């Protein structure tokens, strides 16, 4: 008789326990092909269970093709269902390790908002209210463009805050900016290419390359993209972060914006304006969007990951009229539409003014953190460090005289539990990397003042070996 351990205190049914044990025996070859299983009556008597429990177990094995019934003869193991079991990783240990980040690590990661300041209780309240009030028709499949109420509230908000020229019909809700960029890749034919600033966000580059889009760089200076260097052979897409260039933080002036729009009009290219964090401007009002110069040539991409909550995975595109139908179809093919309950909750967040209040609160917080970071850098490194890109956003860049942040030095920094990256990581391989190897990107959105101070102290201890330290 086959040995099967029955645990009557376990949560699973006895039927599932018997089925799982027999299936494992079959896959392991302990029960060989063509072998007859004990009769249901014998098995039930041996295990002290009701016969129906064994019959149900056998029927499940037959339904899944591990066994077959031979009329009047019994139940037999099917042929060729043996399969060696591969050794799996210790998933529970991995999950525990992942859920418990090292508290001693100081992170200057970019693009992360202050996670402790997310108004999660208010979000939960609105989510419950939205769920309780949802109509049956709203629980059906929805428009791939997204929930109309959110698109309506976004059109009002973006027009007021960013100067974006749009209606709800031109807005498509996506699963973050990454999906927006991925969908836009469909506009580039096999023989075409996308023009990108160099350096640029590694995330954008990664998305383009993994969508098999050829990428060509264009340089930047202290005023942003070098529009006099726009190529003779036109691209299909031109990616830019004009209000707060990533990673350098420079702002593209009006003259170059106009030159870029004229170029796009002439060559029927589309400009992709990545406006990822420019609501957080500390000196004056936010820089107006580039999209307002020509809504038919500029695709405006925004995200709530930087302004609200990365885990929400919600972004949006403001599309030219001529691209709305195509992008709606691409979104449909990708995943039909983004989650509706989250969209309705965000719409209420904007409509009630909660989102504006959150932005104002975070702007003050980030302003104070930026100033504290600048003070720490200046007090520690003095004239040996120069700063730029600090007018807005969640990061600034610091150039250290006489230091090259090559892989050896970056490995040493990581070993001292500092998360930070050099600008050179975001450069395309054109020889430009060397020019940015002296520059680090300091993200401070999710790094409090105590951690900032400790992080700069650690960095100073590492760099002291180069003779840079003023202490």
Q: Where are the domains of the chain?
A: 14-77, 106-112+358-466, 115-356
| Least confident window among 76-85, 198-207, 355-364, 433-442 | 433-442
pLDDT beyond 70 at 97 = no
> pTM to 2 decimals?
0.87
Q: Which of 65-79, 319-333, 442-456 has the lowest mean pLDDT?
A: 65-79
Please state which CATH class domain 115-356 belongs to.
alpha beta
Phi-psi region of 388 (alpha: psi -120 to 50; beta: other; left: phi over 0): beta
Across the chain, what does the average pLDDT equal?
Answer: 93
pLDDT of residue 471: 42
* Higher-confidence position of 297 and 437: 297
> What is the three-class DSSP state of 213?
coil
Q: Is residue 96 scored above 90 in pLDDT?
A: no
With vertex at residue 215, the alpha carbon angle to CA 303 and CA 326, rounded to the nearest 5 degrees, is: 55
What is residue 91's predicted lDDT score, i.e. its pLDDT? 56
Question: Tens digits of per-residue pLDDT, 128-150?
Answer: 999 999 999 999 999 999 999 99
Given a cut of 60, whether residue 467 has pLDDT beyond it is no
As a whole number of angstroms, the distance between CA 368 and CA 373 comes to 9
State which CATH number among 1.10.10.10, 1.10.1060.10, 1.10.287.110, 3.40.50.150 fits the domain covering 14-77. 1.10.10.10
Q: Which pLDDT does position 470 carry in this prediction?
A: 47
Strand partners, 68: 76
- CATH architecture of the region 106-112+358-466: Alpha-Beta Complex (3.90)
- Cα–Cα distance for residue pair 345/352, rounded to 1 Å: 11
Domains 14-77 and 106-112+358-466 fall in the same CATH topology: no
8 A C-beta contact, residue 248 and residue 387: no
Burial of 169 (0-12, 13-18, 19+ CB in 10 A): middle
The answer to whether 271 and 299 have CB atoms below 8 angstroms apart is yes
Can you spell out the DSSP letters for 378-433? HHHHGGGEEEE--SBSSEEEEEETT----HHHHHHHHHTTEE-EEGGGGS-SSSGG
- Averaged pLDDT, 322-334: 98
Q: How much is the pLDDT for 372?
A: 98
* C-alpha of 291 from chain center: 24
Residue 159 to residues 44, 127, 241, 445, Cα–Cα distance (Å)? 72, 26, 18, 25
**What pLDDT, on a 0 to 100 scale, did the predictor assign at position 139?**
95
pLDDT value for 432: 59
Label residue 468 by pLDDT band (50, 70, 90): low
195 pLDDT band, cuts 50/70/90, is: very high
Is residue 172 within 8 Å of residue 316, measured between CB atoms? yes
In this prediction, residue 382 has a pLDDT band, given cuts at 50, 70 and 90, of: very high
**Residue 8: what pLDDT?**
83
Q: Enumerate the H helices of 271-401 as residue ranges.
A: 321-335, 340-351, 354-381
């Amino acid at each position: 008789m086959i040995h099967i351990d029955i645990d009557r205190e376990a949560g699973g049914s006895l039927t599932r326990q018997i089925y799982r044990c027999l299936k494992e025996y079959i896959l392991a070859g302990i029960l060989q092909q063509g072998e007859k299983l004990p009769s249901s009556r014998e098995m039930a008597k041996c295990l002290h269970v009701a016969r129906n429990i064994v019959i149900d177990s056998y029927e499940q094995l037959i339904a899944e093709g591990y066994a077959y019934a031979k009329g009047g003869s019994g139940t037999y193991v099917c042929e060729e269902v043996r399969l060696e079991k591969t050794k799996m990783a210790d998933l529970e240990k991995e999950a525990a390790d992942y859920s418990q980040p090292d508290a001693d690590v100081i992170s200057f990661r970019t693009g992360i908002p202050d996670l402790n300041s997310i108004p999660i209780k208010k979000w939960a309240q609105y989510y419950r209210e939205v769920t309780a009030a949802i109509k049956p028709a709203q629980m059906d499949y929805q428009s791939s463009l997204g929930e109309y109420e959110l698109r309506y509230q976004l059109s009002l908000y973006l027009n007021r805050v960013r100067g974006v020229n749009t209606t709800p019909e031109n807005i498509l809700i996506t699963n973050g900016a990454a999906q927006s960029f991925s969908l836009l890749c469909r506009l580039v034919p096999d023989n075409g290419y996308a023009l990108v600033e160099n350096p640029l966000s590694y995330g954008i580059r990664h998305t383009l390359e993994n969508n098999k889009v050829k990428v060509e760089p264009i340089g930047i200076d202290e005023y942003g993209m070098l529009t006099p260097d726009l190529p003779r052979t036109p691209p299909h897409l031109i990616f830019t972060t004009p209000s707060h260039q990533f990673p350098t933080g420079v702002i593209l002036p009006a003259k170059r914006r106009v030159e870029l729009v004229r170029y796009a009009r002439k060559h029927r290219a589309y400009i992709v304006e990545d406006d990822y964090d420019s609501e957080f401007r500390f000196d004056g009002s936010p820089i107006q969007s580039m999209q307002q110069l020509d809504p038919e040539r500029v695709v405006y991409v925004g995200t709530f990951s930087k302004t609200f909550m990365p885990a929400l995975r919600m972004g949006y595109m403001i599309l030219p009229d001529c691209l709305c139908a195509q992008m709606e179809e691409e979104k449909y093919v990708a995943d039909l539409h983004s989650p509706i309950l989250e969209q309705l909750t965000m719409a209420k967040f904007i409509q009630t003014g909660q989102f504006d209040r959150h932005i104002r609160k975070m702007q003050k917080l980030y302003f104070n953190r930026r100033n504290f970071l600048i003070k720490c850098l200046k007090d520690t490194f003095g004239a040996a460090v120069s700063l730029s890109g600090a007018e807005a956003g969640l990061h600034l860049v610091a150039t250290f005289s006489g230091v090259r942040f090559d892989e050896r030095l970056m490995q040493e920094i990581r070993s001292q539990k500092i998360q930070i990256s050099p600008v050179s990581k975001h450069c395309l391989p054109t020889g430009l990397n060397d020019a940015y190897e002296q520059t680090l990107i300091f993200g401070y959105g999710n790094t409090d003042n105590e951690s900032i101070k400790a992080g700069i102290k650690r960095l100073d201890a590492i760099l002291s070996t180069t003779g840079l330290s003023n202490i």
